[in-house]
Chains A and B, each alone.
Chain A
Amino acid sequence: MTDLLAGRALTDAAARRQLNRRHRAERRFKYYGLAAIFAALGVLAVLLVTIVGAGYSAFQQTHIQLDIELREDLIDPDGTRKEADIRQANYAVLVRDALIKIFPDASGRRDRRALARLVSSGADIQLLNMVLADATLIGSTQTIWFKASADFDSLSKGQIPRDVPEDARKVSDKQIAWFDHLAALGLVEKKFNTGFFTTADSREPEQAGILGAVVGSLLTLIVTLVLSFPIGVMAAVYLEEFAPKNRLTDFIEININNLAAVPSIVFGLLGLAVFLNFFGLPRSAPLVGGMVLALMTLPTIIIASRAALRAVPPSIREAALGMGASPVQTVTHHVLPLAMPGILTGTIIGMAQALGETAPLLMIGMVAFIVDVPGSFTDAATVLPVQVFLWADAPERGFVERTSAAIMVLLAFLIVMNILAVVLRRRFERRW
């Protein structure tokens, strides 16, 4: 009689073949996994290289040094030294005169205007501010670094080809010759572009900065955090620790999960209809932006908080209740502190999402062109991703590099926030 149970021996050829097949399959599976990871990393690398490649030059700005004669007869002919008078003076002329002194051959009106275009149109404001700050400068001659205009900034960065016909580029041969002469005199220098971090948006690329958007984003996120964190945590605590389990709470739970999947632009429409049109809150304001983003972030915070609360072992609750702690004491003394790292991690991730959100803010008018750094929650403001959106739409070469630079700033914020979340999780992770 054959022994059915015995089957083949493990050393049998067929069994060995089977074993080899299994090993090969496992190896193959491992390689698929590695390939997937490398593909993902590759895409990420391409993305980063593209952005950094296009954007790093924005952190440098070409400057031109000029000796400016702060002529009293032009700035303050009556010698009053009153601010109103000083403000009225035409400082652009001073800049142009300084240029003409270097290039006396530029004689005609057109030449002079072309010459003046080498320097940023913000030069006169720079002079005005200098004189306002120190009126004793009037009458003296000062050596000052001015920003080159965006076109010559691009030229010096090699972004404008010199070998194409003159009418195919934005700068003329004559201007190039002047610029090269200035460079030969050592009057042209690339400096770190601090202005990019200290000014708000502008029509002129060389004067446009990110600060307005950064402050707008901060104000918006503060509103979002102040609204969504307490509400989200309270909702999660109630649902997880106190609510009876019945149809109503099931219904609420399903709706919260659905809310997390609602496209963000819908929240923007809601904000437009309710906050702006019904309550009449100001357009483009961080207050409203923050409220809209809070709606969007709430489900994220509630879901993360509930998961964190659920991860606290029931034995801790039993211990506290068994000691005679009230349910509220049990939650506030034990459960919530233990869940807090998880809750904070979820909150930071929610905030990071809110920081990168664009669509709902477009709906409530945060897409406006704003040249001032917002000073309060009701000032018109824009936010980082919207700034990226706006600059990406602008045709000037200078804005192309600024778009990438703004993305880099946005990514830096996101990375910092995510690192914070990881650190929090590591730091407070507990074993039971």
Chain B
Amino acid sequence: MTAMPDQDVEMGRAPAPMPNKIRTQHVSVYYGDKCAIKDVSLDIESNRVTAFIGPSGCGKSTFLRCINRMNDTIDICRVDGSIVLDGTDIYDSKIDVVQLRARVGMVFQKPNPFPKSIYDNVAYGPRIHGLVSGRGETDDVVEASLNRAGLWDEVKDRLQDPGTSLSGGQQQRLCIARAIAVQPEVILMDEPCSALDPIATARIEELIDELRANYTIIIVTHSMQQAARVSQRTAFFHLGDLIEFGDTEQVFTNPIEQKTQDYITGRFG
């Protein structure tokens, strides 16, 4: 561990380079005529946590949602450039969006469990993708997913309770369990802790660190401390531009760009 800019910013471990999972090249995103992301190229490493930081409205969510093509659901949204996942362009016309989203899961800002039982929330993905057949297999997947999301012990006696009856932090972990139940390769998280209290946040951050072993994780966060705590790679966006992208430690301790420096020292935000 090297010097830190701030005492409560604890660095993620210094990363050894990993193979690229996702390559994005010259990605621009438009809402109608408005350009929300301008010519962004960056590579996401496998089994790493990559954080997107930047002031509100700079396009972090927009860029994140390109990676599982959630932007397709917005009529006026247009994406240019290429995003390649394991060698295949996900915007290729031959790509089935449904399968893509099974490979690239997503956790949203506000916990959004389905108004169904905890069990059905987790079982839903495996069922629609035909990953399970029969009650026994489904039970196993539900248990494994909840276990991995660190929720099993808390809910194992109340699997039939509605998912919405859980606390905010539990709901968010349920959403993570739901996402990993379909065995995705990549998990996108859009400010997953912004609606949670500090203790629940800490649990999720621990969880993210554990999940890194099996998944490639991209997390959008408005909290620089969080980015510093959980990520190995950090991308700083500003007004739709990718300003700086590098190892988290380097971005926070020794930024190359003046704008990054200004942002992480709190001069604007």
Contact = CB atoms under 8 A, between A and B. Distances in A.
Contacts of A322: 68, 70, 101, 105-106, 108, 179
Residue among A322, A326, A430 with most chain B CB within 10 A: A322
A317 B175 CA distance: 14
A315 interface: yes
A430 to B, nearest CB: 6
A97 B125 CA distance: 84
Contacts of A321: 70, 73, 101
A430 B101 contact: no
A333 B112 CA distance: 15
Nearest to B68: A322
Contacts of B129: 324
B230 to A, nearest CB: 21
Interface in B40-60: none
Contact of A245 (B75, B115, B124): B75
A324 B114 contact: no
A324 B125 contact: yes
B110 interface: yes
Interface string A313-324: 101111111111
A294 interface: no
A334 interface: yes
B: contact size bracket: 20 to 34
Nearest to B101: A324
A123 B68 CA distance: 81
Interface residues of A, number: 22
A116 to B, nearest CB: 70
A319 B164 CA distance: 13
A315 B108 contact: yes
Given A322-B101, A322-B106, A324-B102, A316 B125 contact: no
Given A244-B75, A245-B75, A323 B164 contact: no
Contact of A324 (B73, B75, B112, B128): B128
B115 A320 contact: no
B73 to A, nearest CB: 6
Given A244-B75, A322-B70, A316 B99 contact: no
Interface in A377-432: 430-432
Nearest to B111: A315
A317 B124 CA distance: 14
Nearest to B112: A315
Contact of B98 (A317, A326, A430): A326
B182 A323 contact: yes
Contact of B99 (A313, A318, A324, A329): A324
B192 interface: no
Contact of B114 (A244, A320, A329, A431): A320
A338 B164 CA distance: 14
B145 to A, nearest CB: 12
Contacts of B173: none
A324 to B, nearest CB: 4
Interface in A236-268: 244-245
Contacts of B240: none
A319 B73 CA distance: 12
B229 interface: no
